[in-house]
A and B are shown apart, each in its own frame.
Chain A
Amino acid sequence: MSRNADESRAERIRAILETEGPAVSANASLLNEKRYDAIDSFPAYDELRSEARGIKEDAIAQLPELIDRVTEAVEDNGGTVYLAADAADANAYVESVAADRGVDSVVKSKSMTTEEIEVNDHLESREIDVWETDLGEFVLQVADEAPSHLVGPAMHKSRAEIAALFNGHFEPEEPLETAEELTRFARDYLGERIREADMGMTGANFVLAESGTIVLVTNEGNARKSAVTPDTHVAVAGVEKLLPSVAELEPFVQLIARAATGQPIAQYVSMLSPPTESPTLDFESDELGGGDREFHLVLLDNGRFDLREDDELRETLYCIRCGACANSCANFQSVGGHAFGGETYTGGIATGWEAGVHGAESVAEFNDLCTGCTRCVNACPVEIDIPWINTVVRDRLNRGQDPDRFDHLVDGLLPDEEAPGFTLQKRLFGNFESLARVGSATAPVSNRLASSRPVRAVLERAVGIDRRRELPTFARRTLIDWFDARGGSRVAPADATREAVVYPDTYTNYLSPERGKATVRALESLGVAVRVPPVGESGRAPLSQGMVDTARARASDVYGSLAEHVDAGRDVVVIEPSDHAMIHREYERLLPAASARRLRESSYDVMEYVYGLLENGADADALRAGDGEAVAYHGHCQGRTLGTDAYAVAVLERLGYDVRTSDVECCGMAGSFGYKRAYYELSVDVGEPLADSFADAETVLASGTSCGEQLEALLERPARHPIEHVGPQ
């Protein structure tokens, strides 16, 4: 990204942080908390996620058959199915239905798919009135804005803003003020629109092929009213909404409201197989209609069949649009969907949807906002690997960019595997290990140089590294050198309970060897024979920049370096949580399955490993006792997703520390993200709640390097890895 692009992106984010940030933050975090509560009290959640995932996989695999089946079923019921190739095709069809019935006005219930095709604009251009009857959508219609969230489309607006909007637009006799007044006003106003309407449009959360059933999940009664009051009903649904039959629906009913809003079930789950027998309502007539209804199901392709062919992005189609990935995302909580979203879709999965239905340009502007923290991974009710989708699309976007004019300068220094096209910034962060090697070898000169003002100015201009961030300092002596110089392990294999390899990740080896030394000493004191062999970077750094080929090459090297140790029965102990998560999650995508499994089964987070040693009889007295000392601990986001952060807490508590943990999703630093000029302010905004919650803590511990950097910057106090705190001095 050029300097100007950085500046204007930073400017845009700053503006949204100020205007929409507060409302989004309150609403998205509340939904996030409610989801946690709902899942805590529902033990079947995970099992149902897998079941739902399996059903979706099968349904997408059988999509052509399901389309045939639903067509037959709807036609048997007396309705029509139209398979629309794209937005224009769908809009033209809807228009033709309206024209045939002489429709003047349409009422709609909330539907992201109709937002995608912009049917409102199309119908309005043909002099047909369209009314959004979902109150959130109605607010947006009045404000002429796009949704900022899949479920709460107007969550970026506060009550006061909505009141000002309505009072200005409708000029009611008494100005509206409370939520109650606003709701009543909108309900009454829209109630009339529903009664007058000639046609009702809905989306569909699910479509049951066997019976031709449209399933609508809502909390307001508007979808039901829109569907059953006028005599013409048009439902617009992406082809991915098809399920075989009612038999497959149950897990989704159990999951969708819990994931979206933390409710056990939505107020209304309407299963309608239109045209229904329910009498039509013409409020100008003096009797109920005889049920002479017309129904059209518009199934939309608009890029979905291509997604279905795409091995990396196919799982986007399993998405049930619950919004949980947005709510669980620290960046989303700060800026909402108008920054973290494309033309139509918002939040982490927006990358998949936008790439599929609108194309890559719609993604370029917001894709970087996914930092790969993985907090959405466990939130997703259909187990979509949302960060992976973001990485793949980032990789594809990178390749599409013009070869950077700096490439020739850095090719020698940055030994990645990528074809030209990656920006210098991405290559720099992606090849961080090479920089760290040079930086460490030339420390402390490199540190002085890097922190000098002219160099910071160049770094900001050419590479987009924000000059307000303190740069990490390189250690003169690496962990590996230290270990070799001390003569290797102090515990001989013959006397050891176990043998372990401490993985010298880039941060630990070149920047913070102290935590590596603490690890070596702690393991030795617990009876473990230790090795610190030269092993390369895990691939995390290039992966986070969307450099998948480089990441794969790194993963392969790491495997090559560790395989023999694993075969010799040595455990692999990893200090940096993002590298541990790399081995445990992403290596599955980068290495042959058996290799990934072998490495995964032998590797441990350092605190997990210490916990295991203590559980198996190692003497806890070898470590520094807490004696009730209060410590504040922030677990790394990726460690939390894998559940390994719990071991740090368990070890600290076992040693007698009084542990307080943070409940924010992410520190906001996310590796290189917080260094980038475009994202510095956002990163600080995300980090502040964490810093505030630890403001009064004397001892702050963080397992991730970048979490520690963020905390140190915001609290102006050291934040160490727990192993440094408990390791023998």
Chain B
Amino acid sequence: MGSQTRQRLTEALESLAVTTSSATAADLPDHVARVIDEPAVGAPLPFAPGALEATAVDTDPTPDSLASARTGVTPARFAIAEYGTLAIPSTSAGEEPVSLYPPKHVAVVAESDVYDDLGGAFDRLAGEFADGTDSVVFATGVSATADMGELVEGVHGPREVHVVVVTDR
């Protein structure tokens, strides 16, 4: 990812009221500890194995701990800079519920997995689908509704999202 793409992602996320930060893989445990509200649950980060295990994040949550967690930490398989979109995996590691139930979602994405636009992301998606990885959620910003007369955020989903970009992955 060029610095332009990186800049584009940050700006897109900012306009969605999503905060961002960056860290190296080695710094990740300390960094995550700073951006979560405890208690936190999480799903392992494939590009930084062991990183979450070195924090207070519970990577083997129970339904109860999911329900009471204030933060859920998950990897994003990739991100789309133009829209500030995160591709959240949906695997047995539990990224779906972890990213959905707690009021705050911290998504961690490797810098090399940030695509400039939707076209690039769809090329990747096509490859992943062909390999059988065919469940993924594009999440952009925070859940919201205008059904009650004006826009309210945090409906059946997090009302706060933070993105950590892992710069050396």
Interface residues of A (CB under 8 A from B): 133-136, 139, 152, 154, 158-160, 162, 179-180, 182-184, 186-187, 190-191, 194-195, 210-213, 219-222, 224-225, 228-229, 245-247, 249-250, 253-254, 264-274, 276-279, 281-288, 291
Q: Are B63 and A282 in contact (CB under 8 A)?
A: yes
Q: Are B148 and A281 in contact (CB under 8 A)?
A: no
Contacts of A271 in B (CB 8 A): 125, 134-138
B105 CB to nearest A CB, Å: 10
Q: Pick the interface stretch among B2-10, B31-39, B149-157.
A: B149-157
CB of B54 within 8 A of chain A? no
B69 CB to nearest A CB, Å: 13
Q: Are A285 and B134 in contact (CB under 8 A)?
A: no
Assembly CA distance A220 to B129 (angstroms): 25
Report which of B82, B146, B150, B157 forms a contact with A221, defined as CB distance below 8 A. B157
Q: Are B96 and A228 in contact (CB under 8 A)?
A: yes
B60 CB to nearest A CB, Å: 8
Q: Are A159 and B149 in contact (CB under 8 A)?
A: yes
Take A264-B83, A269-B138 as given contacts and tell me if A286 and B90 are in contact as well, using a CB distance cutoff of 8 Å. Answer: no
Contacts of B91 in A (CB 8 A): 277-278
CB of B42 within 8 A of chain A? no
Count of interface residues, chain B, beta-carbon cutoff 8 Å: 47
Take A245-B129, A268-B138 as given contacts and tell me if A283 and B155 are in contact as well, using a CB distance cutoff of 8 Å. Answer: no
A166 (CB) vs chain B CBs: closest residue = B148
Q: Are A187 and B155 in contact (CB under 8 A)?
A: yes
Assembly CA distance A162 to B146 (angstroms): 12
Q: A222-B156, A228-B96, A268-B139 are in contact. List 17 more A-B contacts (CB 8 A).
A: A152-B147, A159-B149, A159-B150, A162-B149, A221-B155, A245-B126, A246-B129, A247-B122, A253-B118, A253-B138, A265-B118, A267-B141, A267-B143, A268-B137, A276-B90, A284-B63, A288-B62
Contacts of B67 in A (CB 8 A): 195, 283
B8 CB to nearest A CB, Å: 13
Assembly CA distance A281 to B100 (angstroms): 12
CB of B45 within 8 A of chain A? no
B144 CB to nearest A CB, Å: 5
Contacts of B154 in A (CB 8 A): 187
Assembly CA distance A270 to B128 (angstroms): 15
Take A246-B129, A268-B138 as given contacts and tell me if A225 and B100 are in contact as well, using a CB distance cutoff of 8 Å. Answer: yes
B5 CB to nearest A CB, Å: 17
Chosen A-B contacts, 25 in total, with CB atoms closer than 8 Å, are A135-B155, A136-B145, A179-B150, A182-B148, A187-B154, A219-B144, A219-B145, A220-B145, A220-B157, A221-B157, A225-B100, A225-B156, A228-B97, A245-B129, A250-B119, A265-B83, A265-B118, A267-B141, A267-B143, A268-B143, A268-B157, A276-B90, A278-B91, A286-B63, A288-B62
A222 (CB) vs chain B CBs: closest residue = B156
Contacts of B158 in A (CB 8 A): 221
Q: Are B148 and A183 in contact (CB under 8 A)?
A: yes
Assembly CA distance A266 to B146 (angstroms): 13
Contacts of A213 in B (CB 8 A): 129, 134-135
Take A183-B148, A250-B118, A267-B144 as given contacts and tell me if A279 and B155 are in contact as well, using a CB distance cutoff of 8 Å. Answer: no
Interface centre among B94, B122, B134, B143 (most CB of A within 10 A): B134
Contacts of B139 in A (CB 8 A): 267-268
Assembly CA distance A287 to B91 (angstroms): 16
Q: Are A285 and B63 in contact (CB under 8 A)?
A: yes
Assembly CA distance A194 to B146 (angstroms): 21
A275 (CB) vs chain B CBs: closest residue = B135
CB of B71 within 8 A of chain A? no
B160 CB to nearest A CB, Å: 13
Q: Are A135 and B94 in contact (CB under 8 A)?
A: no
Assembly CA distance A277 to B43 (angstroms): 14
Assembly CA distance A277 to B92 (angstroms): 5
The 8 A CB mask of B104-141 against A (1 = contact, 0 = none) is: 00000000000000110010011001000011111111
Q: Are A224 and B135 in contact (CB under 8 A)?
A: no
Assembly CA distance A222 to B143 (angstroms): 9
Q: Are B137 and A152 in contact (CB under 8 A)?
A: no
Q: Are B90 and A277 in contact (CB under 8 A)?
A: yes
Take A183-B152, A187-B156 as given contacts and tell me if A135 and B122 are in contact as well, using a CB distance cutoff of 8 Å. Answer: no
CB of B66 within 8 A of chain A? yes
Assembly CA distance A413 to B146 (angstroms): 54
Q: Are B152 and A219 in contact (CB under 8 A)?
A: no
Assembly CA distance A717 to B143 (angstroms): 50
Contacts of B142 in A (CB 8 A): 267
Report which of A246, A268, A282 forms a contact with B125, defined as CB distance below 8 A. A246
Q: Are B148 and A179 in contact (CB under 8 A)?
A: yes
Report which of A272, A282, A291 forms a contact with B92, defined as CB distance below 8 A. A291
Report which of B62, B94, B137, B148 forms a contact with A159, defined as CB distance below 8 A. B148
A721 CB to nearest B CB, Å: 41
A31 CB to nearest B CB, Å: 9
Assembly CA distance A221 to B67 (angstroms): 15
Contacts of B137 in A (CB 8 A): 224, 268-272
Q: Are A183 and B63 in contact (CB under 8 A)?
A: no
A269 (CB) vs chain B CBs: closest residue = B138
Q: Are B147 and A139 in contact (CB under 8 A)?
A: yes
Contacts of A190 in B (CB 8 A): 156
Q: Are B63 and A179 in contact (CB under 8 A)?
A: no
A73 (CB) vs chain B CBs: closest residue = B134
Assembly CA distance A288 to B126 (angstroms): 30
Q: Are A135 and B135 in contact (CB under 8 A)?
A: no
Q: Are A224 and B152 in contact (CB under 8 A)?
A: no
B128 (CB) vs chain A CBs: closest residue = A246
Report which of A152, A219, A272 forms a contact with B143, defined as CB distance below 8 A. A219
B142 (CB) vs chain A CBs: closest residue = A267
Contacts of B152 in A (CB 8 A): 179-180, 183-184
Contacts of B129 in A (CB 8 A): 210-211, 213, 245-246
Assembly CA distance A186 to B154 (angstroms): 12
Contacts of B94 in A (CB 8 A): 278-279, 288
Q: Are B66 and A281 in contact (CB under 8 A)?
A: yes
Assembly CA distance A341 to B122 (angstroms): 36
Take A221-B100, A267-B142 as given contacts and tell me if A277 and B135 are in contact as well, using a CB distance cutoff of 8 Å. Answer: yes
Assembly CA distance A267 to B100 (angstroms): 12
B77 CB to nearest A CB, Å: 12
The 8 A CB mask of B84-102 against A (1 = contact, 0 = none) is: 0100001110111100100
